Amino acid sequence: MTSPFARFSCAILVALSSLGVAVQSRGAALAFDYPLDAAPRAAAPKGPAVCRPKQLVQYRGTRVKLEPPSPVFEPFVGRLQRFEETLVEIGTRVYGRAPAAMVHVGTYVCRNVEAEQSHLSEHAFGNAIDVTAFRFPALDSAASKTSRLPRALRSAFTVSVRSYRSTRGAAGERHRRFFLELSQALREEGLFRTAIGPADARHRSHLHLDMAPWSYVRL
């Protein structure tokens, strides 16, 4: 007999597929267990979501400041810290320094999945983040004088998920390289199980990253 959890996973995957999301379903073959894998996610299809999050902690960022500081599921902190390390590496390689801040529009939010109202969103557990931009500090005067970066990228700047593709010139080339490397890392390094970005019409302005008990990627 099919378990409620398996039926739930199937329903979510079908809903995502219907929206054109590239789903990589691994079910029991997920590479590792995660504390929320067995948490009930069923919700009443009508009316407001009912959330009972556990182990929420206020997180401010470790290597990269989280802007604004926000509540997240405590084990999710480790995923964010790994993501920050990746941001530091890629930012240093592409722009000559690490980002100072990661800007987002939501971690814990009590709501259902937009595409499947009968199930809770990972945001309802503090198990997701919607990242909109990265803020970089100015290079110091010595580094700025010797840098090969475009002049606009030697000063402080913000690169956003929504607009990086439309930036012209050498600065735009750097931004596209940054997001290309970041997308590759999200696909290959197992930082999160879910990673959805501008390739999906509902995520043109942000990267949705979470640790749901299945895997799907569309960046």
For 97-146, write each residue's pLDDT tens digit.
999 999 999 999 999 998 888 999 999 999 999 999 999 999 999 999 99
Domain-wise residue ranges, the chain: 55-218
**What number is the average pLDDT over the span 30-50?**
92
CA-wise closest residue to 178 among 6, 121, 186: 186
**The CATH fold of domain 55-218:** Muramoyl-pentapeptide Carboxypeptidase; domain 2 (3.30.1380)
Higher per-residue confidence, 46 vs 183: 183
User: Per-residue confidence at 5, pLDDT binned at 50, 70, 90?
Assistant: very low
pTM: 0.88
Q: What is the DSSP letter of 97?
A: S
Which pLDDT belongs to residue 29? 53
Rounded to an integer, what distance in angstroms lies between the CA atom of residue 201 and that of residue 172?
22
Element (H, E) at 67: strand 65-67
Q: Is the preceding peptide bond at 68 cis, omega within 30 degrees of 0?
A: yes
Report CA-CA distances (Å) from 66 to 141, 162, 173. 26, 19, 26
Tell whether the model's pLDDT for residue 23 goes beyond 70.
no
